[in-house]
Amino acid sequence: MNGEFSTLLADIKEQILYLQELGAESFNVELSEFDASKFGTQNAAIKNHNKQSAISQEKLERFVPTDFELPKIETAKPKISGSEGISSRRSLLESTKLSRLPSLPKRNSFAAKITDEPASESKMPKTIVTEETPGLFGDVKPTLPEAGETIEDIRLDIGNCTRCPLHEGRTKIVHSTGNLRADLMFVGEAPGADEDAQGVPFVGRSGQLLNKIIESIGLKREDVFVGNINRCRPPGNRAPTLPEAKTCKPFLLREIAVVRPKVIVVLGNTACQNLLETKVGISKLRGEFQDYFGVKVMPTFHPAYLLRDPSKKREVWEDMKKVRDELNKLQG
Ligand code: URA
């Protein structure tokens, strides 16, 4: 009898382990459906019980509780919400392999060729054209270079900038703002009238909508980092020209290397095409992650476009869900 029950228990244990492997967290055993004869026809005691009536529920429950919780398997990922989530994600990031890699120049894993930007901006990551050298175990993916500077250093370098003609019409330089340890960054085009007056990006109508977009994935504006390709307002809210964008963008790229977000959302054509150095339009690229030195880049429509055509909000919502899921995944 004891031997039979040991075998029965061993079977049950095995089944539980199997169910755990399949991801079951709890289950119900309906004893009214229990057929003891299935558990060993050789077991005379059970057969006897079965003949007389059903096996005693009280007795069986000592071995197989009718409703019991399997031990919790640690699968839950911390949810992104508020600055607490952000800081815990950051500490997770800091323990990842990527963040512990030595700086690119030290690793010497691919040759760097500096393109034609001014000498004072030679530290900028995206302007480094990389030629990958295969590593010992296959391809080495280029990752963000170590910044080796602070946001303040970059501000000082920008100074009272007159590098491009846009400075002539500006009221204030609109620097990037937000959480310097953000996992998520948004990049827009250039300041509008409200931003120009206040010196803060995305504070006008587009900014209000951007805040709602951020909140739609459970974050707050202060959790993220927000910047533009250009820091001075173009006249009549036109898009910056390519030379204007090329002059200003390197400062943004340096900020990306300092903040090191996990995901960047590029808002609209100007941000998308300049960050990714592509001519492909936003309608083609939106909704699919692109790569910027190992950082996931999600192109989506600019909030100003959504104000003109609210029917496009659905697509932005779809894109933002992917961003949220990616952040949760990278966090785990
Ligand atoms: N549009 C942008 O692209 N950036 C801003 O900061 C405001 C509006």
Sketch out the chain's domains with CATH numbers.
Answer: 2-112 (no CATH), 151-331 (3.40.470.10)
For ligand 1, whether the C-beta of 186 sits within 6 Å is no
pLDDT(292) > 90:
yes
Q: Of 100 and 54, which is predicted with more confidence?
A: 54
Higher pLDDT among residues 7 and 101, named by residue: 7
Give distance in angstroms: CA of 142 to centre of ligand 1. Answer: 29
Q: What is the pLDDT of residues 104-141, one digit of tens each?
A: 222 222 222 223 333 344 444 433 334 444 445 666 77
What is the model's pLDDT at position 16? Answer: 60
**Pocket mutation for ligand 1, best pick of 189, 226, 305 (most atoms within 8 Å of C-beta):** 189
Structure tokens at 200: 């803060």
Lowest mean pLDDT among 82-86, 177-181, 309-313, 315-319: 82-86
What integer pLDDT is reported at residue 332 of this predicted model? 75
Task: Look at residue 291 in the predicted model and tell me its pLDDT.
Answer: 97
Residue 15 has a pLDDT of 60
User: For residue 264, how far is its CA from the centre of ligand 1 (angstroms)?
Assistant: 15
Query: Is any ligand 1 atom within 6 A of the Cβ of residue 303?
Result: no
Percent of the chain with pLDDT over 90: 56
Distance 156 CA to ligand 1 centre (A): 22
pLDDT of residue 61: 39
C-alpha–C-alpha distance, residues 175 and 292, integer Å: 21
Where residue 182 falls among pLDDT bands split at 50, 70, 90?
A: very high
pLDDT at 138: 61
> What pLDDT digit, counting tens, does each position of 45-78 carry?
434 444 444 434 443 333 333 333 333 333 333 3
Angle between helices 242-259 and 151-158 (to 10 degrees): 160
How far away, in angstroms, is 37 Cα from ligand 1 center? 73
174 CA: nearest ligand 1 atom = 6
Residue 87, pLDDT > 80, answer: no
Q: What does the block give as tokens for 9?
A: 């228990």
Q: In the predicted model, what is the mean pLDDT of the chain?
A: 74
Backbone angles phi, psi at 113, to 5 degrees: -125, 120
Q: What is the pLDDT of residue 188?
A: 98
Find out whether the beta carbon of 228 lies less than 6 Å from any atom of ligand 1: yes
Ligand 1 probe mutation, 173, 176, 194, 195, most atoms within 8 A of CB? 195
**Confidence (pLDDT) at 49:** 41
pLDDT (tens digit per residue) in 250-261: 999 999 999 999
| Secondary structure of residue 212 in the 3-state scheme | helix
Residues 282, 231, 214, 95: is their CA dihedral positive or negative? positive
Query: What number is the average pLDDT over the span 166-185?
Result: 98
| pLDDT value for 331 | 84
Given a cut of 90, whether residue 86 has pLDDT beyond it is: no
Calculate mean pLDDT across residues 226-234: 98
Q: Are 255 and 154 in contact (CB under 8 A)?
A: yes
* Backbone phi and psi for residue 317, each to the nearest 5 degrees, phi listed first: -60, -45
Residue 226 alpha carbon to ligand 1 centre in Å: 10
Is pLDDT above 50 for 162? yes
What is the identity of the amino acid at 204?
Answer: G
Q: Report pTM.
A: 0.63
Residue 270: pLDDT over 70 = yes
Residue 96 confidence (pLDDT):
30
For the cut 60, the answer to whether the pLDDT of residue 198 exceeds it is yes
pLDDT band at 94 (very low <50, low <70, confident <90, very high): very low
pLDDT at 279: 97
Q: Which atom of ligand 1 is nearest to the CA of 189?
A: 3
Q: Rounded to whole angstroms, what are the CA distances from 328 to 66, 76, 196, 222, 322?
A: 35, 10, 35, 18, 10
pLDDT at 140: 75
Q: Does 96 or 27 have the greater pLDDT score? A: 27
